[in-house]
Structure 1
Amino acid sequence: MNAQAKVEACPVLDAAPWPARATVLACRLLDGEVLASVENVIEEVPVALVYNGISHAVMLASPADLEDFALGFSLSEGILQTPGELYDCEVVHGASGIEVRLDIATERMFGLKERRRNLAGRTGCGLCGVDSLDAAVRTPAPVAPRSAVRASAIQRALTELGTWQPLHRATGAAHAAAWADNEGKLQLVREDVGRHNALDKLAGALATRRINPATGFALVTSRASYEMVQKAASAGIGVLAAISAPTAYAVRVADAAHVTLIGLARPGRLTAYTHPDQLIGT
C-alpha cells in the first residue's frame, strides 16, 4: 500500500464511537414561563494525538472527521511537511476520550522528538508547549500567486453555508471551516467546537483529496486570529474570509504571507484587510 492510500484509509476501530452531540434536560424561560425542555448540546472530547506510539498533544475537539483533523494539525504545526509522510492512522475510542494513532515518516518523528527534547524541563509560555516568544510564532512561507476571487463568489458561499452545518443547527455551538471553488460553490465543510480544529480538519480534507488551494477559498465562522491565518497559509490557502473581524497581528501575518484576509464577511458586505488586488468587487 502506498503512502497516499494509507492516508485515505484511517479506520475507526471502536464499535461505539463518541457521538458529536448529546441531549440534556434543561429549563427554558419563555415570556415569564418556566418550561422543561430537552436540549441538544455539542460534545467536547479529549483527543490525544499519538505519533509512532508517543503522545504529543491532547486537544479538546468534536469527535468527528478526526482523520482530517490529525493530518491538518500535523501539517499546520510543521510536524509533517507533506501528506505522504503520514503512513497510517487509527482512531481509537475509549471511555475517557479518543486516541488518534499516527504512523509517520522516521525523519519527521526524529524532528518531533528533538522538539520535545528541547522543551523538556523548561518553563513554557503556555502556548502549544513552546518555551519562547520566537517559538510561539511561526511565520508561514508566502502563498503562491493565484487568480482573483469575486466578491459575489464569497457572498454565494456565505448564503450556502448554513445548509452545510448540521452540527451547528442542532446545537448552536459549532464553528465551521468551509472550502468553496472560485465560483463560490461549497465543496467541503468541517465543523468543530473549536475554530482552530475546524480549520485543521478542512486543511486535512484538502490535503487528503489533493485539492489545489489555488482553485478556491476558505470561509470560517469565527474571527480571524493569527493562528487561523497561519494555518490557512500553511495549507497554501491564498484567500481566507471570516464572518468576524481579524486581529491586528493576523493582518500583519496575512500581509507577509500574501494571503488575502477578508473579515466581517456578511450578506451584502465584507472588508478586505490585506491584498485587495486578489478580490474583484463584483
Structure 2
Amino acid sequence: MKQGTSLWNVSRVECGEVTELQDEVAVEFPLTLVVNGKEFATMVCSPLDLEVLVIGFLASEGIIRRKEDISSLSIDEDTGFAYIELTKEVPVVSTMEKRWIGSCCGKSRAFYFQSDAKTARTIMNHFQLEPEVCLQLMKQFHAEAQVFKKTGGVHQASIATREGLEVTFADIGRHNALDKLLGHMILHQLRNKEHTVLFSGRISSEVLLKISKMGIGFLLSKSAPTDLALKLAEDLNITAIGFVRDDRMNVYTHPERLKTDVAPSFAEMNKGGIDVD
C-alpha cells in the first residue's frame, strides 16, 4: 500500500542560518477510473483509502446510488488504475451539456452541473446539537489531523455524532476528502439522520453540494463560506457553521438546529450570519 507522505531533503533558512534536514511532504497520486471497460476520469489524490474515494466519486457524479450498483472493483496502485464493473450502463453526458442550469429543488437556485441537480438532496431532518458539542467535536477533529500536522498539505473531513468522530479521511484534494466520506457511508450503509460533517477547508458551493448528497444537514468548518454556498445551504436546509475555532463559531444558515436558548432569535438575524460566543 502506498504511503500518504514522503521524505524530501530540504535546506531550511532561519534567521540567516541554513540547516539541512528532511521534510515530510504529501504524496500526489494520479488515479484513472476505468468503468465498464472505458476510461471515465482521472483524479489527482492522496494514495489513501482509494476504495471509498472511488465509490464516493461515482456516487457524487450520479453514476451509482448504492454499493449494489457495483459488481466488481479492483485497484492497481502500481499502475494507478481502478477498474469498476457496474450492474448497469454508464450514463453518457456530452461535454457540450456539462454546463446546465436547473431548478434547485423547485426553488430559485441554479446548478452548474447536471449531476448535481440529479443528486443534491434537501435535508428534511431536524437533528440538533449544542454549541459546546460543536466546539468539542472540532477539538477532536484537530487532534485527528496527523497528516496535516506532518505536511501542511492536505484537507480533512470527518463524520461525527454528538458522541464523537466516527471516521476521518485526509486528501490533497478537498473534494476527494468529502467523496471518501460519501464512499464510506455507501459502503457501510451508514444512516445519516443524526450525523455532522466536519471539514478543514472553505465552505464553497461545491463543498456544500457534496454535503447535501450525503443527506447530512449539519456542517462545521474552521474556515469561511462563500455566498453561493450559503444560498444553497438555505435552499437545501443545511446548517452551515464556519470559523469554528477556540470558543467561537459563526452560524450562517438554519440556526434552529443549534440547541441553545437564544436560537429562536437567530432566524430574524440570519441573513448576515450570527456569531456565537
- TM-score (norm. length: structure 1): 0.83
Counterpart Cα distance in 2 of 1:277 and 1:152? 15
Q: CA deviation at 1:65?
A: 0.4
Aligned partner of 2:11 in structure 1 is 27
Question: Quick one: which amino acid aligns to residue 160 of structure 2?
Answer: A
Q: State how 1:54-133 maps to structure 2 within 5 Å.
A: 54-95=38-79, 98-106=80-88, 109-111=89-91, 114-115=92-93, 118-119=94-95, 122=96, 130-132=98-100
Shift of 1:133: 5.5
CA separation in 1, counterparts of 2:188 and 2:145? 20
Aligned equivalent of 2:168:
189
- For residues 203 and 209 of structure 2, the distance between their equivalents in structure 1, rounded to whole angstroms, comes to 10
Letter in 1 for 2:230: V
Equivalent residue for 2:184? 205
Question: Structure 1, unaligned stretches of length 5 or more?
Answer: 1-16, 125-129
Where 1:145 maps in the other structure, the secondary structure is coil
Letter in 1 for 2:156: A
Q: 2:168, 2:175 → 1: CA distance?
A: 14
Pairwise CA RMSD: 1.8
Q: Which amino acid aligns with 1:280?
A: K
Query: Residue type matched to 2:122 in 1?
Result: P
CA distance in 2, matches of 1:66, 1:74: 12
Shift of 1:150: 1.6
Q: Distance in 2 between matches of 1:164 and 1:100?
A: 28
Query: 1:70: how far off?
Result: 0.8
Aligned AA (1:232): I
Q: Is the 8 A contact 2:200 2:223 kept in 1?
A: yes
- Among 39, 44, 47, the alignment partner of 2:31 is 47
From 121, 124, 145, give the equivalent of 1:144. 124
Which digits, 9 at most, give the CA deviation of each residue in 1:105-154, with x for residues without a partner?
21xx242xx22xx33xx4x8xxxxx2456673334220121321222121
Q: Distance in 1 between matches of 2:31 and 2:71?
A: 20
**What's 1:178 paired with?**
158
The answer to whether the 8 Å contact 1:175/1:222 transfers is yes
1:270 to 232, 249, 262: 249
2:201 alignment partner, one of 217, 222, 240: 222
Residues 1:252 and 2:236 aligned together: no
Are the structure 2 counterparts of residues 84 and 150 from structure 1 closer, same or farther at C-alpha, using a change threshold of 3 Å? farther
Superposed displacement of residue 84, structure 1: 2.2
CA distance in 2, matches of 1:253, 1:84: 30
2:140 matches 1:160: yes
Q: What CA distance in whole angstroms lies between the structure 2 residues aligned with 1:146 and 1:89?
A: 36
Q: Secondary structure at the match of 1:170?
A: helix
Residue 2 of structure 2 is matched in structure 1 by: 18
- AA aligned opposite 1:103: E
1:253, distance to aligned residue in structure 2 (A):
0.9
Q: How much does 1:43 deviate?
A: 0.4
Q: What letter corresponds to residue 45 of structure 2 in structure 1?
A: A
Number of equivalences:
249
Q: Is the 8 A contact 2:36 2:90 kept in 1?
A: no
Name the CA distance, whole Å, in 2 between partners of 1:234 and 1:99. Answer: 26
